Amino acid sequence: MPRESDLPKIVAVNTDEGEPGTFKDREIVEQDPHQVIEGVLIAAYAIGASRAYVYIRGEFFLGVKRWIKAIADAYEAGFLGKDILGSGFNLDMSVHRGAGAYICGEETAMLESLEGKRGEPRQKPPYPASVGLFGLPTLVQNIETLACIPHIIQRGPSWFAGIGTAESKGPKIFSISGHVNRPGNYELPLGISLSDIIFGYAGGIPGGRHLKAVIPGGASTPFLRGDQVNVPMSFEGLAEAGSALGTGGIIVMDESTCIVEAVRRLSKFFAHESCGHCTPCRIGSWRIYEILERVEKGEGHSGDIDLLLDLVDGIDGHTYCPMGSALVNPVRSAIQHFRPEFEYHLTHKSCLVNGVK
């Protein structure tokens, strides 16, 4: 945030949670929006903003209602509005519902959408901190981050930094879904072992089946094999294992899962959610989906695995925004870890896991 700017400053709260396998923001907004409002107030006070916008995923009906109610409550209690608690500090806050596009979770696409435009990312630089909403310096933060602020202010930064690992500090909400006995949100220190979450907190795999694969940080992060779960859930730990922490949305797949089908479904999501701005994402993600669709159906062509890898290399790092390149991660890692399954689909025209396809 540029200190020398005389322009009014804005806080934009990102509650457009759309990453497959991730549902922590929904829980925060539905269960405790007040701590986020407190976090927004502190953030706005810190940067000198007098206006805050909450952008929330349109499908979060209950979340929207709770946000609106919480903001109204805060106004009534004198925590929002003019001259808050006689401090001379003003902050107005309102809620804006998204219209169903994943890309609007990208910070600049979210700002475009807030301005009433088509939700597409902006060119960076300039970054939102200098030119953001309506051209004003804007602080964009996820609500999970903002929810931490009151606790850090209350208990001190060393308390917060004492949780987690040396490089990944603080607690994190992990959403775990898929083939586990107790799916849900678990707030745990960063650096906790993935296998502890799966087999401990989430109660392990149902039916005594074996763990086959895990996506550790939402659909945009690379697959891990079932034998790679003794990995700390931290930025550095997952990077070392060849994946990423992402949103902390853990998707667990047991041995009954066809990886080709899983990747096909993921690719359909990314192709569907491509905004269409740049060539590699608009056409490339669709081509990946088409190829996976034919491979999965047993109609694949002999060179399709190499073609997929070519597509992945062609897209990676060449897109307009990071989302375009996100699809690359599950596709590349799935082929890397489970190539024989793809080959089986091509040679046997059927599925290794489900037999008939």
Q: Which spans of this chain sit near other proteins (rule: CB under 8 A)?
A: 101, 103, 118, 123, 125, 271-287, 290-291, 301, 307, 310-311, 314, 317-320
217 or 280: CB nearest other proteins: 280
Q: Is 179 helix (H, G, I), strand (E, B) or coil?
A: coil
Q: How far is the CB of 232 from other proteins (least distance, A)?
A: 25
238 or 281: CB nearest other proteins: 281
Distance CA(66)–CA(295), nearest Å, equals 44
**Tokens at 348, concatenated:** 């046997």
228: DSSP letter: G
82 or 301: CB nearest other proteins: 301
Give the CA distances from residue 1 to residues 11, 47, 122, in Å, rounded to whole numbers and listed in that order: 11, 8, 18
145: Cβ–Cβ under 8 A, 6 or more apart, which residues?
Answer: 39
Q: How far is the CB of 127 from other proteins (least distance, A)?
A: 13
Q: How far is the CB of 305 from other proteins (least distance, A)?
A: 14
Cβ-based neighbour number of residue 265 at 10 Å:
16
Report yes or no: 281 and 320 within 8 Å, Cβ to Cβ.
yes
Residue 126: is the preceding peptide bond cis (ω within 30°)?
A: yes
58 or 189: CB nearest other proteins: 58
Crossing angle (nearest 10°) for helices 285-296 and 304-315: 160
Q: How far is the CB of 119 from other proteins (least distance, A)?
A: 9
Distance CA(29)–CA(204), nearest Å, equals 28
Q: How far is the CB of 302 from other proteins (least distance, A)?
A: 12
282 or 297: CB nearest other proteins: 282
Q: How far is the CB of 324 from other proteins (least distance, A)?
A: 9
Q: How far is the CB of 313 from other proteins (least distance, A)?
A: 8
Report yes or no: 24 and 185 within 8 Å, Cβ to Cβ.
yes
162: DSSP letter: T
Cβ-based neighbour number of residue 206 at 10 Å:
11
Distance CA(89)–CA(139), nearest Å, equals 18
113 or 185: CB nearest other proteins: 113
Which helix (H) or strand (E) segment holds residue 152: the answer is helix 143-155
34 or 282: CB nearest other proteins: 282
Q: How far is the CB of 276 from other proteins (least distance, A)?
A: 3
151 or 297: CB nearest other proteins: 297
